Structure 1
């Protein structure tokens, strides 16, 4: 039976009560949940990642349908604009929330961990999409812009790394067949508790009351993106990565997930499929951790996790 890491709960007894109320529908339960959240927030202290000095600028380009996208480039001040590796960072939010602005600190963290430029990719959110692949095509437009601007920016197109967090992991994995079709090389892929399968919408009894992203929330995210096509097994892997047929096209891949995350099973299966296809794959499954565990702030398990991430990212230098 899964249980949360005691270090996550230390001095935060509100967490277990809060998690039990995440899917609350009646007004009394919602008020109780919101009150617990107000008690919890002041107790959360960010994990102190040593920050690099960064030059930051917004960059604009068009999506395939002409929609204007605005991504954000973070360039370590100490690095010359000369054949640098780059991380393309894709934020999470269940396909229905999140912005480049909201992900600003996370993008800064990844630039500091990687000691490399980071481009935080903009994409439209469901359900505003017209086609099911609009979101992945938006982030692919960011990859294309990066390749087109590489010489001007001082980038090495042979050292592009994708980092996708949660729903961003869905989009990062979805980019891989698009990149292959356009002869764009991806050197490394990092998936942080990625959202990979629209089939993960049913209750997982062993995780009830332990999850920060519930099956009901997951249904809402996938339903918003896929609309009438939820559960359609003919959807391409660009949209639902677990539909991948040819895993051999993937670059060397890093996957991490907590075992109190509804994505734990699909992420481990995806890693197994990659390994079976001969793809060099590094998998970390962290005991007692839920989805987006960093949201609860500094804890004893985080130094090792951030070291794993940094070690992987620095391979691309």
Structure 2
């Protein structure tokens, strides 16, 4: 048998084995959440793949009808940094039904994503909740490692709090909401807000990225889709630098590493059981509760990371979003 024939058979056999393994992994997801993109394996774990997602896959989405958007630039929250943070403020044209306000923090593993990518999502939140929503376009690693993103997010929250003191919003009805890396940044921003005297009615954490060590040891059945262990290692290394264990003088860098969680804002945490962040999110929820912080924890069987983005109309994802909106409405009305 010719060498090329043997090579072709070996390649076909390997591809078949890979597909069979991948198919078994996809079957772990709830049937309503399975998607053709579950078969794509292109983890964001190097600069080339990151550039592909940033410049080819990720495109701005439109602002929904019925919502006005204002683009502002505000100073970041660091005295030695002259960066101006882009902030988008969405307001229902029909008027607000609550004097509360929400800060949205987009996801993207700390290395990708943008506020413009979430125009549709942010304007939908404004319509669903009848409030003003601000979305912060924070700086991304690796070009801008910690604390750039945190300073940008805190500057956006401080802007909302300042507007509240001027009477635009109710200072008792400010909430922060983020997904994935944005959820981790929302948790860190909520910690800093507590320390600097900004009260929050709720921190909404959608499958938040909280622990830098996740993905360094095997986690069978978790992290197979959307955000993988190798992507998580790359994201944290880009954000923290190569020495990811050194936190000396870097508070808020890794939200789960804060020792004292008492006094933090009430939390809503939602995560799927197939998510890479499932275990770390449950640990953080348990620690918050042990510290006396009210926590509403929602877990979804058969849900992988960001499944609500791929299958938003699936019944389980509609229930997931409804639970989040209910918690937000409760905080905004209290």
Fold-level similarity (TM above 0.5): yes
1:55 corresponds to:
68
2:143 equivalent among 111, 118, 128: 128
Kindly indicate which of the two structures has a greater share of residues assigned to strand: 1
Deviations 1:138-179 (A, max 9, x none): 110111122223355711112110001111111111112321
2:244 equivalent among 230, 233, 236: 230
2:268 corresponds to:
254
Note closer, same or farther for the CA distance 1:287–1:60 as it changes in structure 2 (3 Å cut).
same
Whole-angstrom CA distance in 2 between matches of 1:215 and 1:69: 30
> Which runs of 5 or more residues in structure 1 are unaligned?
39-50
- Verify the 8 A CA contact 2:109 2:232 in the aligned structure 1: yes
1:220 corresponds to:
234
How far 1:293 moved relative to its partner? 0.7
Whole-angstrom CA distance in 1 between matches of 2:149 and 2:327: 26
Whole-angstrom CA distance in 1 between matches of 2:69 and 2:44: 40
Please state if 1:207 is matched with 2:232: no
What is the SS of the residue equivalent to 1:145? helix
Note closer, same or farther for the CA distance 1:146–1:307 as it changes in structure 2 (3 Å cut).
same
The alignment yields a C-alpha RMSD, in angstroms, of 2.5
2:151 equivalent among 134, 137, 150: 137
How far 1:128 moved relative to its partner? 1.6
1:102 equivalent among 103, 107, 117: 117
Whole-angstrom CA distance in 1 between matches of 2:123 and 2:73: 19
1:91 equivalent among 103, 106, 116: 106
Whole-angstrom CA distance in 1 between matches of 2:174 and 2:147: 22
2:289 corresponds to:
275
How far 1:233 moved relative to its partner? 5.4
Deviations 1:91-111 (A, max 9, x none): 000000011111111112222
Greater relative contact order (CA < 8 Å, ≥ 6 in sequence): 1
Whole-angstrom CA distance in 1 between matches of 2:256 and 2:136: 22
Note closer, same or farther for the CA distance 1:148–1:24 as it changes in structure 2 (3 Å cut).
closer
> Which runs of 5 or more residues in structure 2 are unaligned?
1-24, 58-63
Note closer, same or farther for the CA distance 1:173–1:140 as it changes in structure 2 (3 Å cut).
same
What is the SS of the residue equivalent to 1:84? coil
- Verify the 8 A CA contact 2:190 2:203 in the aligned structure 1: no
Q: Which moved more, 1:266-275 or 1:133-142?
A: 133-142
Provide TM-score, normalisation by structure 2.
Answer: 0.79
Please state if 1:181 is matched with 2:195: yes
Deviations 1:20-47 (A, max 9, x none): x23499xxxx9xxx9xxx9xxxxxxxxx
- Verify the 8 A CA contact 2:223 2:276 in the aligned structure 1: no
1:74 equivalent among 90, 113, 118: 90
TM alignment of 1:276-295, pairs within 5 A? 276-295=290-309
Deviations 1:32-69 (A, max 9, x none): xx9xxx9xxxxxxxxxxxx7822211111111211011
What is the SS of the residue equivalent to 1:156? coil
- Verify the 8 A CA contact 1:165 1:193 in the aligned structure 2: yes
Whole-angstrom CA distance in 1 between matches of 2:106 and 2:44: 26
Provide TM-score, normalisation by structure 1.
Answer: 0.83
- Verify the 8 A CA contact 1:16 1:209 in the aligned structure 2: no
What is the SS of the residue equivalent to 1:248? coil
